[in-house]
Amino acid sequence: MAHMTVQEAIDQALAEEMARDPSVLLLGEGVATKRRALVDAFGAERVRNTPLAEGIIAGTAVGAAATGLRPVIDLLFAPFLCYAMDELVNSAGKLRYLSGGQFSFPLVTMAMTGAGWGVGAQHNHNVEAWFAHAPGLKVVMPASVADFKGLLKAAIRDQNPVLFFIDIGLAYTSGDIPDGEHLVPLGQAVVRRPGEAVTLISYAKTVAVCEQAAQTLAGQGISAEVIDLRTLKPLDEASILASVRKTGRAVIVHEASRSGGIGAEVAATIGEHAYDALKAPVLRLAGPDAPAPASYPLEQAFVPQPDAVVAAVKRLLG
């Protein structure tokens, strides 16, 4: 076990994959400045600062992926993905299909998002659900330091375009990572805490919110299972359904706006495939349908809190 921050875990994942596979390269505004050790280890050809132009960074990655390289691009903050939507969605996501399988697009797009820094809505917008609604893409959003490393390594090795979202609130937290080669397969949720009476389903920063709520609930004799989705597309429906079939109750928690968020897909899936097992309505706790405010207390209020999760569970059980 090694203890490190999320940033270090990302650096380690990048370094290991770049060492393993010479076709991996890193592009972005400032990557060579901020990840100096990677430049030193792998050279300026493979760790490239770019002009400030997200569209061409992504387009370059897509073209390079089609022709033998394996780019990782850092687009900094999720709202900036808006400048690269065409390349990510219309090219990376669709061209494998439209080419009848002639080309593949192994590339990873990293971006930060979420409450915690008070940077406001043009830096903080949780848009992971958009990419789950775009064919040909995979979407990852880790909650633990070990998963940041293991999922990033798996994403880099994946043959498909992967969106890798980094919750700002977690970006400088630290935790333990298993020694040796640590890979976490895409598409597998994990049970963070087993329980019997209700399933709390979340990802990213709000996994910890659910864990806190579960702790509180345990003190009141209520056993909550906490599931960390980790990969948002493909969604691990089997794990979700298995848990809800067991508990009969589900609360989905995320920071992204409620309307059309990942929680909607999870709730709809449960409602369709675990209907018979349900003992109560499936609830969603999510951010409001509002831009993210900069003001500290408002930004805090944007994020679902443990007491709200506890209250929701009690409503289901009451």
Partner 1 sequence: MSVNTYDGRVQDLLQTMLLIRAYEERAAALQAESGVPGTCTSVGQEASAVGVVAALGADDLILTNHRSAGHLLARGADPGRLLAEVMGRRAGYCKGKSGSLHISAKELGVILTSTIVGGELALATGVGLSQKMLKRPGVVVCFFGDGAACEGRFHESLNLAAVWQLPILYVCENNQWQAFVHRRETMLGDSIASWATPYGIDSATVDGNDVEQVRALATEALDSIRASGRPFLLETRTYRLRGHFEPDDQAYVDPDELAAWRARDPLPRLQARLLESGQLDARALSAMESDAQRRIDAAVAFAIDSPYPAIDELVTDVYA
Ligand X SMILES: Cc1ncc(C[n+]2csc(CCOP(=O)(O)OP(=O)(O)O)c2C)c(N)n1
Catalytic residues: 54, 123
Tell me which DSSP letter residue 91 carries.
Answer: I
**Residue 58 binds: one of a copy of itself, ligand X, partner 1, none (C-beta under 5 to 8 A by kind):** partner 1
CB of 54 to ligand X, least distance (A): 6
**Residue 267 binds: one of ligand X, partner 1, a copy of itself, none (C-beta under 5 to 8 A by kind):** a copy of itself
Nearer to a copy of itself, 69 or 92 (CB): 92
Cβ contact 309:201 at 8 Å: no
In the chain, which ranges are E strands? 2-5, 24-28, 47-49, 70-77, 108-113, 138-140, 162-167, 174-177, 190-193, 198-202, 224-228, 231-233, 250-257, 283-287
CB of 72 to a copy of itself, least distance (A): 21
Q: In what order do the strands lie in the sheet with 138-140?
A: 47-49, 24-28, 70-77, 108-113, 162-167, 138-140, 231-233
Nearer to ligand X, 54 or 128 (CB): 54
Q: Please, which of residues 105-124 interact with a copy of itself by CB under 8 A?
A: 120-122
Nearer to a copy of itself, 179 or 276 (CB): 276
Residues in the chain: 318
Positive or negative, the CA dihedral 33, 53, 173, 157 is negative
Q: Please, which of residues 158-187 interact with a copy of itself by CB under 8 A?
A: none
Nearer to partner 1, 101 or 318 (CB): 101
- Summarize as ranges the residues that interact with ligand X (CB under 6 A): 29, 52, 54, 76, 80, 83
